[in-house]
Amino acid sequence: MADERVALVTGGSRGIGFGIAQSLAAEGFQLVICGVRNEDAVQQPLAALREQTEVAYFSADVSIAADRQRLRDGIQAKFGALHVLVNNAGVAPKVRADILDASEDSYDWVMDVNLKGPYFLTQLMANWMIAQRKAAADFAGCIVNVSSISSTVASPSRGEYCLSKAGMSMATLLWATRLGEYDIPVYEVRPGITETDMTAGVKEKYDTLIADGLLLQQRWGQPADTGKVVAMMARGDVGYSTGQVITVDGGLLVPRL
């Protein structure tokens, strides 16, 4: 049962993160949502989540060490525990640029938010989970990394994004290996073409591709599609499958002739 269990979803007030938060709320998890916007700017999604469960919001940038520590301390003060970490927060390049021309500034920003931030947030929260596990044998924790099909599908117009997601895939394997002795599973979810504000600018392009048969299931992915997978992991339904990846892409990557 998820009663009294606490889940942190980074970037959980919009897009795929909000879909994940909704699914976890429906399971009875108490929620911690963090994002870079002020709480006043996210009242609508927070209100929707609070209709189902208790929710705390922290304005925090996962790429900044002090923000990560403040987030951890805030969760400790508010709930006293953390059972599930969902590393979902991420950014796309501000400008899509050919890798022959892309800037170091863009590379540094995307890698800091998408890879360095969740890597060290996992380090911080995993150590806390280990302490909780040692204090209570029935403690059940897990970590879920939200990457992307871009971890294996090359897009030369946003190379820094692809590299950040490929790094997240290796981070999943590293943390699964390190945390196995504590029975803290680490999973990865790879969404495909999902309808969010991040993909709004390419909607017409993908509407056409989907209509032309790009996907086996000929529709856009929805945040809830990823949310339901994360909820399954958080519930413990696949507790003996650490290090595993579930791709949520409507069959995009199925080889076919």
CB 85 within 8 A of CB 24: no
Segment 166-206, tens digit of pLDDT: 999 999 999 999 999 999 999 999 999 999 988 888 899 99
Assign domain 6-248 to its CATH architecture. 3-Layer(aba) Sandwich (3.40)
Q: What percent of the chain is modeled with pLDDT above 70? A: 99
Digit-coded pLDDT (tens) for 11-42: 999 999 999 999 999 999 999 999 999 999 99
Element at 208 (helix H, strand E): helix 203-211
Instruction: Name residue 237's amino acid.
Output: D
Give the active site residue among 57, 107, 119, 161: 161
| Per-chain mean pLDDT for the chain | 97
Put residue 218 in one of left, alpha, beta given phi > 0 → left and psi -120 to 50 → alpha. Answer: beta
Instruction: Say if CB 109 and CB 74 are below 8 A apart.
Output: no
Residue 119 bears catalytic tag = no
Q: Is the pLDDT of residue 90 over 90?
A: yes
